[in-house]
Structure 1
């Protein structure tokens, strides 16, 4: 049989080239002819710069206005940056989950990435290979409910310490919440114990990191993020001062990256370490950078949102006392009053489980979250999402959408309970732990921390509005602190023991744990 030649003539090659060029041109022209999603009309040069949420406002509430004005998807053009707002959950599912191969990147954040030291951070890295390695490493320790069960005793211990601090000083409950969250994260991440009273240096350092992370990633704050060419302006020239700000942030980032891990390494060498996330990875011979950056990522991802969730829980309890009573009735029936609830009780406490979901829905801790980036042109519902566009979700909007949740501003854990007359409404945690390949790797740990703190607080205390000088309950002022995490400004709360025996139960933590002296002195001697 003769061989069939597949050699093309010059004419055929030219024809194929012309056809290919035509098809590419037609595709390009089609995408170019498509409009962006609707949005406010911009000004020359600056575009929609003045349509961004003004400084001091609450971003997620400002962006929520877009749904009524422009529909399920909208856009802004700020100088050279296109911002796509996904105002409907289905849009987020379609674009961030189903198209995750095209939308898993982070947008260019020149300040945070190049000047503030967050280039390798779990939350912000644009290096897909590195991000995949981070996810793989973290999944070994945090990837399943069985894997995170080893952290349960520490979570229960820190929750009980929170109850003790409330017993001694109820007025400063926000500080106690931050201390509980920080103590737990530092213990399970590095095996580090905070000092029992007073200011712990590593908690202070870690909280400083959180503040600077929010500062560095604030949408629209840094001109260099909107106009990358600004980076070529000298530091001494007007507009170049951000470089000095960046160095100050980077110094804190480097200290958090190295100092607590140096403590873990020191304790391992002395054979005195407590098993932890970092020590487990070191035992597996994971690279130093991998351990340090993912460890820092755990703190950024876990501590702040946990505190925000628990503040929302306390607010809900004083505004909706009937839900509180139902939860306490369930605890009394299942656990009794001779001990505090444990995570092992969770399967038998369906109302408390439903309440965790309702807290996350009613007070979404990370409503805007960190944005995604389109790595390719995406055509969606007749609109163009151009390559390089910044894509933003609004989980608060999804969690308050009446098409998913009946009477959404009502706090009702029952909406997530199934009975013969009612199917549970959509699980709100689908909306709050990230999307696609950027889903939060520590979500199971955060969920169990919120559950055990809520359950133990409900068991021990009645949570109510304080009584003012006029003898009437003081209504809370619901106000958000601007930032990527939905922190409520402090409001008054009255905590009363539900039963005198709970004081003895709570105080057992003083004897059993002894509130050890902490590891601050060792940390101070460690070199890094």
Structure 2
């Protein structure tokens, strides 16, 4: 006979398992009932593929690419990234240029084509300028800053202030040109050194380009530059890259379906928390140093100006002011990451296309030689005299679209759009890829043809449906700075060097890899001085 206590323990254990199973079954049934009830309530939404229970359309064509990426199969995941862009664009042929998808129970409306994207973001800005509460993003940004903060009076006030201050420090002005050229001089010297050391195996351009681009934004917002050998700064840039990659191309994407996963004590979830902590320590230390050394008579950068505005509002008794050190931290993080990632990848894409299309590289260099020569570095004043060079840069931007789905928008209220009902809280994806690959707007849209941006006399053509920086009130605040950096970096490097693939190296794929932006897959080049 078993002791009574043992029987009670077995009975208790069985009941415990039964209770857990009952709870799981109850929750599953409850979720399914709610899911199908919500489907019935979403009347007149744009058409789209039928969602699966629980996972929505995430289980259709997104999960296969997610699985490949999670297992680190880079080549396959980059192919999957491009297939996702083509799939999202091709769905418009089935359901129209405005169609619906579901991630879990979250409704997503995808906008395809220039007219639809422009109509939503430019003609209905009060409705479609908000940002969604995406758990993986919200956990990291607390819905503050410039890029990911919700649309409203606080965002407008913060963005206007930052834009004004950055313009005062040279944003989009010729006066900022020396700061950009200073970093490029270092890049040229380092390229020669690394090229000699590699022995023909090629140089990875990414670290050098990322460093010089990030130093430009550092000069404006932090008032300092970091040497390319600075270990802490190099580590910070690596952390930012890794954090963005984890959020998009790893199992951490599941945080968006269950936010509690962020706190799991292992794997990429633990790594994401470490990345966030290390970036926070670095940026908050810089802000604290600015506060301790602040001289109101001689502001050095955006951080100083922000601290002065914060103190002024405190002195005026504005207790509910949004100008706080906490908000400043998220602004600095936004500007630092966005100002580095997009421009860096645009430069890397352009140089990659120059390697893969040496005839175009030769033609760009011939134009630079004719207009600028070899005795001085290119200047922003040369832009109007280098139409083929400008057209080449624009064609690379058209084909690569470094932010192919823009930063997600959200409907701030229920509205009627193009005959459909868009419920409040719907995530809006503006498919810029579809705009730049639209065969009704571009002849042979998948081919690299810089001359499409030139008229019959060789003058530059600016087309309204060329929108690599987005459109509407959420258009990239650093657009002018990015254009300056991209032009000066590409022209300076092509004036000085000939770029080619290492001997015997197969051409790298043009599919790219997705983080915050669409970046080229890692590649190396051999550098030959032209002088």
Q: TM-score, normalised by structure 2?
A: 0.77
The one-character-per-residue Cα deviations of 1:194-218 (angstroms, maximum 9, x if unpaired) are: 134x343134224413532453467
**Residue 498 (structure 1) aligned with residue 530 (structure 2):** yes
Residue 475 to residue 207, structure 1, CA distance change in 2 (3 Å): closer
Would the aligned equivalents of 1:362 and 1:399 in 2 still touch at CA under 8 Å?
yes
The aligned residue for residue 169 of structure 1 is: 194
Q: 1:474 to 1:207 in 2, by over 3 A?
A: closer
What residue number does 2:318 align with?
none
* Alpha-carbon separation, structure 2, partners of 1:111 and 1:312: 28
Q: Name which of 200, 213, 225 aligns with 1:193.
A: 225
98, 110, 120: which one aligns with 1:95: 120
Q: 1:338 aligns with which of 375, 391, 416?
A: 375
Pairs within 5 Å for 1:126-525: 126=150, 128-142=152-166, 147-149=171-173, 150-170=175-195, 171-196=203-228, 198-213=229-244, 215-216=246-247, 222-223=253-254, 225-226=256-257, 247-248=273-274, 250-266=276-292, 268=294, 275-282=300-307, 287-289=323-325, 291-419=328-456, 424=461, 426-427=463-464, 429-430=466-467, 432-468=468-504, 474-499=506-531
CA-atom RMSD, angstroms? 3.3
Cα 1:224/1:334, change in 2 over 3 Å: closer
Is the 1:416–1:427 Cα contact (8 Å) retained in structure 2? no
Residues 376-412 of structure 1: CA distance to partner in whole angstroms, max 9, x if unpaired?
Answer: 2232332222221111122122111122222222222
Task: Please say if 1:83 is aligned against 2:83.
Answer: no
Cα deviations across residues 23-56 of structure 1 (Å, max 9, x unaligned)?
A: xxxxxxxx97853222212223433230252312
Query: 1: CA distance between counterparts of 2:354 and 2:94?
Result: 34
Cα pair distance change 1:178/1:274, threshold 3 Å:
farther
TM-score, normalised by the number of residues in structure 1: 0.77
Q: Distance in 2 between matches of 1:495 and 1:109?
A: 43
In structure 1, distance between residues paired with 2:438 and 2:391: 18
Assess, with a 3 A threshold, how the Cα gap between structure 1 residues 423 and 183 changes in structure 2: closer, same or farther.
closer
Corresponding residue SS for 1:116: helix
- SS of 2:433's equivalent in the other structure is helix
Aligned residues: 456
Q: Distance in 2 between matches of 1:481 and 1:141?
A: 34
Q: CA deviation at 1:302?
A: 1.1
Cα distance change of structure 1 residues 285 and 107 upon mapping to structure 2, 3 Å threshold:
closer
Match of 2:19 in 1: none
The match for 1:506 is none
Partner of 1:516: none
Alpha-carbon shift at residue 418 of structure 1 (Å): 3.0
Q: Distance in 2 between matches of 1:406 and 1:90?
A: 18
Provide the rounded CA distance (Å) in 2 between the counterparts of 1:453 and 1:221: 35
Q: How much does 1:100 deviate?
A: 1.0
Equivalent residue for 1:38, pick from 47, 65, 78: 47
Distance in 1 of aligned mates of 2:460 and 2:47: 35
| Secondary structure of residue in 2 paired with 1:300 | helix
Structure 1 residues 141 and 436: CA distance shift in structure 2, 3 A: same
For the residue of structure 1 that corresponds to 2:444, the secondary structure is coil
Query: Conserved in 1, the CA contact under 8 Å of 2:406 and 2:430?
Result: yes
In structure 2, how many angstroms separate the alpha carbons of the residues matched to 1:261 and 1:320? Answer: 45
- How much has 1:90 moved relative to structure 2? 1.4
Partner Cα separation in structure 1 for residue 95 and residue 462 of structure 2: 26
Question: Structure 1 161/243 Cα, relative in aligned 2: closer, same or farther at 3 Å?
Answer: closer
The question of whether the paired residues in 2 share the 8 Å contact of 1:220 and 1:226 is answered with: no
Q: Structure 1 residue 274: deviation in Å?
A: 8.6
Residue 279 (structure 1) shift:
3.3
- Does the alignment pair 1:120 with 2:144? yes
SS at the partner of 1:493? strand
Q: CA deviation at 1:434?
A: 2.8
In structure 2, relative to structure 1, the CA distance for the partners of 1:381 and 1:148 (3 Å cut) is: closer
Distance 1:461 1:250, change over 3 A: closer
Between 353-362 and 42-51, the greater mean CA deviation after superposition: 42-51
Deviates further, 212-221 or 83-92: 212-221
Point out where structure 1 has 5 or more consecutive residues left out of the alignment. Answer: 1-30, 500-528
Contact 1:308 1:488 in 2 (8 A): yes
Equivalent residue, structure 1, for 2:129: 104
